[in-house]
Structure 1
């Protein structure tokens, strides 16, 4: 799962962001200054940055501009102002999206997932190749293979196994799977996930002779962890 760096000096706003990320299952770390943000970046493994513009030790615009000279980590900028000029400047210097305060945690989570979908396919495929061994997910061609066997899947089935394969062994709730596998999660009921998991299981058994999905009653589903 992606790790998000929050760069925000207001503790109450940072807490709201962290709560939204916890609900979605994202890992995260918080920096209240640009200096602390640089320390986190030096440690590596940051997949997206939520960056406030006004910070005690500098300007988010300058930080993003400098970041773009060496790294392509996606950036979503936060600002208390709704000026179009700020938005245009942020996007021109390399920000991937722009959110104006106040914002709803749900909206921010949706923006994060949208940016990650656009930028993170190669990262997800690398994780999947390392952890799933025989199961390979190609997010570019929407194809799934187990060894040499190609799985013939519907769009929802593909996105379900794609989500589960990103973290083998992790239990995903139905709501989390809806958010990852449906373009409009609010258009479907959580029980819809059960029906698609059932059909996905049938196809796995027919193609590879076994079911890789584990049911956790009262919680959700996980993919068998080969480790």
Structure 2
């Protein structure tokens, strides 16, 4: 049974989400502050985190950054901030998805299920090396290495590079990538993909401003380029 950590300072929200998630077959843990969330994450085997941005002690961004230093556990952010820059900031520090308040508990359950399902699926059953070993994607160990060094990726980033690397040279639209990552029922902004690509470039490209692997196809989306070795 997967364990979901719900982090929100509003007890009613925690209780409602917990009820829906338990009904969907998950075990839930609750935290009302950032400190409680970090303590639980250190002590418990958590499979997914639902994280509110507005907490009474630490901000959700601070909690997300700290968790990302230790773990690639999927994180879904809850935010009342509707501006695009706030959503992009959350994605840039390692969140896998976001939902704007007010929200439907059923939507939260659907997002959790979709992210966990896609995180568990292997798109590649092989070790693929590019440009004489400069970049290696290995799903047997679920690792990515750049210049011989392991690269720490979030589950969504890992899934995204698998999709692209499996189809070198093929352009993918943002809509296609959203569907493969989040499913047909995803109702968020397709531009979410841009931030995930930016994060990936910062991690796997020698010069993120002049990407070798993750290339923009203007008017379409993105494609992966790289000679297999």
TM-score range, shorter chain: 0.5 to 0.7
Q: Indicate the SS of the match to 1:77.
A: strand
The equivalent of 2:26 in structure 1 is 26
User: Do 2:35 and 2:58's aligned partners in 1 also have CA atoms closer than 8 Å?
Assistant: no
Matching residue of 1:58: 58
Residue 119 (structure 2) aligns with: 119
User: What is the match of residue 4 of structure 1?
Assistant: 4
The 8 Å contact of residues 6 and 30 in structure 2, kept in 1 or not, is answered as yes
Secondary structure of the equivalent of 2:29? strand
Match of 2:17 in 1: 17
Aligned counterparts of 2:75 and 2:105: Cα–Cα separation in 1:
17
Whose radius of gyration is greater, 1 or 2? 1
Q: State the 1:121 CA deviation.
A: 4.4
Deviations 1:133-188 (A, max 9, x none): xxxxxxx9xxxxxxxxxxxxxxxxxxxxxxxxxxxxxxxxxxxxxxxxxx889xxx
Query: Which secondary structure state, in structure 2, belongs to the residue aligned with residue 54 of structure 1?
Result: coil
How does the TM-score come out when normalised to structure 2? 0.52
Matched with 2:48 is 48
Which blocks of at least 5 consecutive residues in structure 1 are unaligned?
A: 123-139, 141-182, 186-227
1: CA distance between counterparts of 2:34 and 2:120? 24
Partner Cα distance (1:84, 1:33) in 2: 25
Counterpart-to-counterpart distance in 1, 2:65 and 2:37: 14
> For the aligned residues, what is the CA RMSD?
2.0
SS in 2 for 1:55: coil
Distance 1:83 1:109 in 2: 24
Matched, 1:92 2:92: yes
Question: What TM-score, normalized by structure 1, do the two folds share?
Answer: 0.52
> 18-27 vs 113-122, which deviates more?
113-122
- Could you tell me which runs of 5 or more consecutive residues in structure 2 were left unpaired when the two chains were aligned: 123-139, 141-182, 186-229
Give the conservation status (yes or no) of the 8 Å contact 2:38–2:63. no
Residues of 2 paired with 1:57 and 1:120: CA distance?
33
